[in-house]
Structure 1
Amino acid sequence: MITYINNLILIVLNNIVAYCDAAEPWQISPQDPATPVMEGMIFFHNYLMFYMILIGILVFFMLFKILVTFGENKKSVADKFTHSSLLEIIWTILPAIVLILIAVPSFTLLYSLDELVDPALTLKIIGHQWYWSYEYSDYAILNNGNTLSFDSYMTPTSDLDFGHLRLLEVDNRVLLPTNTHIRILVTAADVIHSWAVPSFGIKVDGTPGRLTQGSLFIKREGVYFGQCSEICGINHAFMPIVVRTVSVPYFTEWILYRLDHFLGE
């Protein structure tokens, strides 16, 4: 009995501290952030909700006041309150002040989305119908310029292991280091795709013939899930994205292993 209770407590604690890096049933809040950009988005969302609630309360109060004051059986002539010049000045200036208070943090967030610090790693992403190709462009090792690359396909339901997420698992996960400035270059080989991972707060369109640039700085290790966010054809819903983040030493060992394997081929 004591063992059962201890196991139950461990399960509850694990659920409390577990991060939400994939969609859950009936989820209405964003996934837990893994990058400073996503943290800023969630902060701005909560900041904006404060003003939206105040504005909503004020608007509904005014509507209620109008219905009560100017109902069918009430007086139909506007009084001094509704014809007040002071009131008109206030409700013209007040929204302007609110817009300024909203604009300042939004400009800061937009700037952080476009800011690109000198990257230590570049990941090139190519969208296909209907899978992803990844290239670690910093590791050109052959005379013909080939790079360390692989394709990533969705794992069929019949091949899923226990605990894997249906329609979200892939055969080759992307491996990226934490606490590292990463540049991503996204393009497409056929139609427009979009590489999006909610926990990273990133969504970059891949357009044929163009390279779109984005940046990542991942703060914690984990497994993150995303999907193509651009309607790209009949199998648009079946090209998921899975990114596993590890420590820099582990990532270095993995790169050396993949390079040895690539040279062996």
Structure 2
Amino acid sequence: MRTTQPKNRSSWGLAALGAFLVSSSSALAAGLGQPEPWQMDRQIPVTENARDIHHFEQGMHWLSFGISLFVLGLILYCVFRFSEKANPTPSKTTHNTMIEVAWTIIPVLILVAVSIPSFRLLRTQLSDPKADVIVKVIGHAWYWSYEYPAVENGGGFAFDANIDEDKMPKLLGTDNDMVVPVNKIVKIQVTAADVLHSWAMPSFGFKIDAIPGRLNQFWFKADREGTYHGQCSELCGARHAYMPITVKVVSDEAYAQWLVEGKTKFASLDGNSKIAAAR
């Protein structure tokens, strides 16, 4: 029995490690494209833009933590170094030129260092690459509608996406989902039919305002298949909380089949569609 006990312990350890890895991967998959209870971090990023935002945010947290520790150290130093007990005779110093220069220049250098990745991120977001897919998104009180232009293998239809309260996750499912292909540049043109709305997709790393009479534009390239959820992020009225967004990222084959099926399932676009033709 003594000779087999270490083997049993090691097997139990391997089994526990395996169970932990399986549960971790399951939790990771479950959290893809949707919020989780007690979540403190961003959703799993599936676009380059979302990952850049995630890394930039982590860097800012560490920078803020370091500055906070430095300021706390200065405060504690001043408390003990310049206390009444340590300095029975108060100093009459009014200013220190070197310290004043330092606390002016150092924050400027920090801001310059922060601005470099900030502008790089903005340049990526505001670039206008050639689109593989264009979808027009229209915000209504209180639902979304989507228009797909006609292409060689389908398209040319529009549909509404209303909340489906029977779907999970709760209040994030829609009766019709926006579908896009994986690893393709998708250009989103967003407007509104009535009041201000905002089309937000956390896993893609962006939100864009839907403004009546104006066509805003953004792009993303999702590199992982799955179902992703977002919501209207502009307070727009009584049912603002019931304007979910569901985007399915599928393979090229599945997307081509969905385009063909959409022509019979959804209403055809009329000739007055405002979808831009330029790609």
Aligned to 2:170: 166
Give the paired residue count: 251
1:121 and 2:133 matched: yes
User: Which whole-Å CA distance do the structure 2 matches of 1:183 and 1:256 have between them?
Assistant: 20
Q: 2:156 aligns with which of 147, 152, 177?
A: 147
Rounded to whole Å, the distance in 2 between the matches of 1:261 and 1:229 is: 29
Is the 8 Å Cα contact of residues 122 and 138 (structure 1) preserved in structure 2? no
State the one-letter code of the partner of 2:135.
Answer: L
- The residue number in structure 1 matching 2:4 is none
For 2:251, which of 239, 247, 250 is the aligned residue?
Answer: 247
Work out whether residues 158 and 267 of structure 2, in 8 Å CA contact, stay in contact via their aligned partners in 1: no
Residue 227 of structure 1 corresponds to 231
Q: Within 2, Cα distance between the matches of 1:65 and 1:85?
A: 20
User: Deviation digits for residues 219-252 of structure 1, max 9, x if unmatched?
Assistant: 1101100000000000000010010100112101
In the aligned structure 2, how far is the partner of 1:252 from the partner of 1:63? 63
Task: Give the fraction of aligned pairs with identical amino acids, expressed as a percent.
Answer: 36
AA partner of residue 210 (structure 1): R
Contact map agreement 2:199 2:207 (CA 8 A) in 1 = yes
Opposite residue 154 of structure 1, the aligned amino acid is I
| C-alpha displacement of 1:17 | 4.5
Instruction: Say whether residues 1:110 and 2:114 are aligned partners.
Output: no
CA contact (8 A) 1:22 1:225 kept: yes
**In structure 2, what is the Cα distance between the partners aligned to 1:16 and 1:23?**
12
How far apart, CA to CA, are the structure 1 residues paired with 2:50 and 2:75?
37
Report the counterpart of residue 23 of structure 2 in structure 1: 12
Q: Deviations over 1:78-115 (max 9, x none)?
A: 487x8543333333322222222111111100111101
Determine the C-alpha separation between the residues in 2 that align with 1:140 and 1:179: 19
Unpaired runs of at least 5, structure 2 = 1-14, 269-279
Aligned equivalents of 1:261, 1:203: Cα separation in 2: 29
* Equivalence for 1:213: 217
| Structure 1 partner of 2:185 | 181
Report the Cα distance in structure 1 between the residues aligned to 2:67 and 2:24, rounded to whole angstroms.
38
CA distance 1:55–1:262, shift in 2 (3 Å) = closer
Tell me if structure 2 keeps the 8 A contact 1:177–1:248: yes
Is the 2:134–2:188 Cα contact (8 Å) retained in structure 1? yes
Give the alignment of 1:22-101 within 5 angstroms: 22-75=34-87, 77-78=90-91, 83-101=95-113
Aligned equivalents of 1:122 and 1:45: distance in 2? 29
Q: Structure 1 263/199 Cα, relative in aligned 2: closer, same or farther at 3 Å?
A: closer
RMSD: 2.7
Structure 1 unaligned spans of 5+:
none
TM-score using structure 2 length: 0.81
> 1:140·1:147 contact (CA, 8 Å) conserved in 2?
no
Q: Which amino acid aligns with 2:114?
A: I
SS in 2 for 1:43: helix
Aligned-partner Cα distance in 2 for 1:98–1:252:
49
Give TM-score, length-normalised by structure 1: 0.85
1:120-141 CA distance string (max 9 Å, x none): 1110001111110001124499
Letter in 2 for 1:77: P
